[in-house]
């Protein structure tokens, strides 16, 4: 199988596997005061320090969670008191579901947040909590976070950044971004599923209210015994990811796009700054689900824009927000994993050309 669905889950990195195996050998709960507990605590705090260093945060302001969804939900819960929510039109469901009734910040036809619209929304009234992702999961399109953070500060608003897809693929310096909080997920950067983190700026750390209180772990910000092995794997994966820039994937992504274009595809978000590993390819007239199944049968794993947990394909709200019209239901996402090769792209190109020719002929 040629695996080109990294934005759903990256393959586990060797360093993450090794760190997890070592941590699995450690008996004890990091909250216990005895020797084994202290050894477990050391693993936890080493991972915290390492991740904080990887992403430009202070270790004390990094809260471990179960993944990106919880980190987003925690941020929107913790920072929302007394604030109205504004979220980007192309946010992930992890954010959308955690901010019901939020005002929606539109994007342009490339999928980039409209900063003039943000300014107008911020000027409307009480202080806001804004959620804007760093990189979109369906298109790879990057939002101007530094500029958005600057605007938010001008209007006394807090900015939460979902960096789940950007982390490990772009260098992130949380302190320099100027955001109040930032969400990370382990399995999107080559660590195991089951771990994530929320980074907090001092102003967010001060007035924080937890979603889960439990036994007061994570300085009272997230109750529950941490998933030690997953967290150790998360930190090791982040170190490895940042050691090799994902720009090495750019030429492979470009080759995949050239092949798809030649077969009739339209690339969505192509004019915006994007992640190097992601492309959204629309094939006019052919349902996304049909394309995904055809490619799967040809041995190539990709996804439709938005897959629900049921496995059913829903029309993409991201592509709709970009004004893609019917193409919103006719686009697949190809996302190259960290270990993608030229052979992977070759196999994709062959399978895509065959699939497009056959389905377009049938549709004509």
Residues that bind ligand PLP (CB under 6 A): 67-69, 72, 92, 94, 133, 137, 162, 164-165, 185, 196
If the CB atoms of residues 162 and 276 are measured against ligand PLP, the closer one turns out to be 162
Shortest Å distance, C-beta 190 to ligand PLP: 13
CA atoms lying within 13 Å on the CB side of residue 143: 32
Min CB(194)–ligand PLP separation in Å? 9
Give the nearer residue to ligand PLP in terms of CB position, either 217 or 335.
335
Nearest distance, CB of residue 317 and ligand PLP, angstroms:
13
Q: Which residue is nearest to ligand PLP (CB)?
A: 68
User: Shortest Cβ distance from residue 243 to ligand PLP (Å)?
Assistant: 22
**In terms of CB distance, is 15 or 74 closer to ligand PLP?**
74
Q: Is 308 a catalytic residue?
A: yes
Report yes or no: 194 and 67 within 8 Å, Cβ to Cβ. yes
The catalytically annotated residue of 1, 33, 243, 308 is: 308
CB of 94 to ligand PLP, least distance (A): 4
Give 91 or 351: the residue with its C-beta nearer to ligand PLP: 91
Between 31 and 110, CB nearer to ligand PLP? 110
CA distance 238 to 51: 7
SS (H, E, C) 169-222: CECCCHHHHCCCEEEEEHHHCCCCCCCEEEEECHHHHHCCCCCCCCCCHHHHCC
Residues with catalytic annotation? 308
């Amino acid at each position: 199988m040629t695996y080109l669905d990294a934005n759903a889950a990256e393959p586990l990195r060797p360093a993450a596997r090794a760190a997890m195996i070592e941590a699995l050998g450690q008996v004890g709960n990091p909250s216990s005061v005895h020797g084994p507990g202290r050894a477990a605590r050391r693993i936890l705090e080493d991972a915290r320090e390492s991740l904080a260093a990887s992403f430009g945060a202070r270790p004390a302001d990094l809260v471990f969670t179960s993944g990106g969804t919880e980190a987003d939900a925690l941020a929107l819960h913790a920072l929302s008191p007394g604030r109205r929510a504004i979220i980007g039109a192309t946010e992930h469901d992890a954010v959308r579901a955690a901010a019901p009734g939020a005002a929606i910040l539109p994007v342009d036809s490339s999928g980039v947040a409209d900063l003039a619209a943000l300014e107008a929304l911020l000027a409307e009234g009480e202080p806001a909590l804004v959620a804007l992702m760093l990189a979109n999961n369906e298109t790879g399109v990057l939002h101007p976070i530094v500029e958005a953070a600057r605007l938010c500060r001008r209007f006394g608003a807090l900015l939460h950044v979902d960096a789940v897809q950007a982390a490990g693929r772009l260098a992130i310096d949380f302190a320099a971004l100027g955001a109040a909080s930032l969400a990370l997920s382990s399995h999107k950067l080559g660590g195991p599923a089951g771990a994530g983190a929320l980074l907090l700026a001092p102003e967010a750390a001060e007035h924080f209210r937890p979603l889960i209180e439990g036994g007061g772990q994570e300085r009272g910000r997230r109750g529950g015994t941490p998933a030690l092995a997953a967290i150790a794997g998360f930190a090791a994966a982040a170190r490895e990811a940042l050691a090799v820039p994902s720009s090495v994937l750019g030429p492979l992504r470009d080759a995949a796009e050239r092949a798809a274009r030649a077969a009739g595809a339209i690339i969505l978000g192509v004019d915006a700054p994007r992640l190097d590993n992601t492309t959204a390819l629309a094939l006019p007239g052919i349902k996304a689900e049909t394309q995904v199944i055809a490619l799967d049968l040809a041995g190539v794993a990709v996804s439709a824009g938005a897959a629900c947990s049921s496995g059913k394909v829903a029309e993409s709200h991201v592509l709709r927000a970009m004004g893609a019209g019917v193409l919103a239901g006719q686009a697949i996402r190809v996302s190259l994993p960290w270990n993608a090769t030229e052979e992977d792209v070759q196999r994709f190109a062959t399978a895509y050309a065959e699939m497009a020719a056959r389905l377009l002929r049938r549709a004509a």
